[in-house]
Amino acid sequence: MKQFAVFGAILAAVATPALAEDVVVGTFGGSFGEAVAQCHIAPFEKATGDEVITQEGSSSQFASMVRATGGHSDFDVLYIDNSFATQLGSEGLVEPLDHAKLSNSAKLDPKVWGPADSFVQFMWAATAIAYNPKLVKTPPTSWSAIFDPAYKGKIALPDISGTSGVHFLIAAARMNGGSIDNLDPGFEAIAKLAPDVQAYYTQADQLIGMFERGEIAMAPWYSDRTASAAASGVPVKIAYPEEGGIGINVTLVIPKGAANPEGAYKFINEILSPEAQSCLAEKMYEGPVNPDTKLEGAAAEAVPTAVYPTLYFPDPEKVAANVGDWRARWQREITR
């Protein structure tokens, strides 16, 4: 496996030309990227003899890169949140997925497929409340805990450039009587909180150091990243608010104009296998979508099966249609 990175807002092309048998993959970094290397890439390379070239970034960065290449993508496969995948699908910038080329998809729930088969969901997680049990003695039960004056200066918030930021805005709106169709209550609540925010994070793993140093008591964060950090000794736990955590459908797409679609299908099929699904659940506490996946021990406990029905999954088409305006408003009213 070869690896290249995307830093900040820099959108760089893959650094070396890919060979015909190479599969160029865009994936997230940090602990998630490490798990992908072990659970997806290594088994795939061993089984096929092909080499995977990875480039790390965020969903928004990958979407921008696909748009910039206008249907002649440098990537064969992208790991990308469903709202961005839906956007790219509506713009005609991803290839419709052929179920017949994915043998491990036979038992998947129909809801894992995007509109017109533009993507396939391969895992689920949630944005919920991560908290430091040394600073928060009673586990929070509501999103309102983020706004509690007792934690003034001890809260980190996600920037709206990422999925967790969009999710927190929706959660704040719903808690205050709004909805995905009316985010005004969310913007108003967060604007009042903004002066007392310790930090805004743009990459998920930036929170690890803040929790380790005791700089923050709470933050909206991903359930999988929280569980993984806790397993490595970081003083952090996850709490699912009574209003509902915001569900995450992380997907896979083949961008329009991918140079190696055959390799892309083989790689996606590997990710959907019970073995790969189990591996990712054990290492990253992700919910599997393949019903043949067997989980034991910590993974079985960490994947919130009982919580899953309580999660709120935003309509990806509404997110895709409006997220640009939400981000512009966030910059005007929250981080100005």
Distance CA 39, CA 121 (A): 16
Of the given ranges (18-22, 176-180, 292-296), which has the lowest mean pLDDT? 18-22
pLDDT at 170 over 70: yes
Instruction: Average the pLDDT over 112-134 and give the result.
Output: 94
Domain ranges of the chain: 2-124+249-305, 125-247+312-333
Do 2-124+249-305 and 125-247+312-333 have matching folds? Answer: yes
Are 6 and 61 within 8 A, CB to CB? yes
Percent of the chain with pLDDT strictly greater than 90: 73
Residue 221: C-alpha distances to residues 5, 111, 132, 149, 178 (Å)? 23, 25, 12, 20, 21
Helix 184-193 and helix 163-175: axis angle, to 10°?
A: 100
Averaged pLDDT for residues 137-166: 96
CA distances in angstroms from 144 to 60, 124, 204, 275, listed in the order given: 28, 24, 22, 39
Residue 141, pLDDT above cutoff 80: yes
SS3 156: strand
Question: Does the domain formed by 2-124+249-305 have CATH 3.40.190.10?
Answer: yes
Q: Among residues of the chain, what percentage have pLDDT more than 70?
A: 93
- Backbone Cα Rg of the chain: 19
Residues 6 or more apart whose Cβ sits within 8 Å of residue 170:
180, 183, 186, 246, 312, 314
* Continuous H helices in the chain: 30-36, 42-48, 59-69, 82-90, 163-175, 184-193, 206-212, 223-231, 261-271, 274-284, 297-302, 316-333
**218-243: average pLDDT:** 92
**The predicted structure's pLDDT at residue 308:** 75
Q: Work out the burial of residue 227: count CB atoms within 10 Å of its CB; fewer than 13 is exposed, 13-18 middle, 19 or more buried.
A: buried
The topology (CATH level 3) of 125-247+312-333 is D-Maltodextrin-Binding Protein; domain 2 (3.40.190)
